[in-house]
Amino acid sequence: MTEGGESRMRPADCAIVLSPSDNVAVARRDLPRGAAIETPSGPVTLREAIPVGHKIAIAALEA
């Protein structure tokens, strides 16, 4: 658990990154809102629940 109370997950446990150059991952299972996923650039905290099969950004994306 982290200071904020959320648990941190390794990407391999919860998402699939198809290529090392990708900035998104595909959820391997339903992910709860507030979960923190460890990435090479630091933890990414989910702002909403993510259903299995949906993509999540694991790096900052340009608008």
Please tell me which residue, 47 or 13, carries the higher pLDDT value.
Answer: 47
pLDDT band, residue 3 (cuts 50/70/90): very low
pLDDT band, residue 53 (cuts 50/70/90): very high
DSSP state of 13: H
As a whole number, mean pLDDT of residues 4-28 equals 79
Q: What CATH number is given for 8-57 in this structure? A: 2.30.130.110
CB of 31 within 8 A of CB of 50? yes
- Residue 7 has a pLDDT of 64
pLDDT digits (tens, 9 = 90+) for 30-44: 999 999 888 877 888
Rounded Cα distance, 19 and 21, in Å: 5
Rounded Cα distance, 45 and 56, in Å: 10
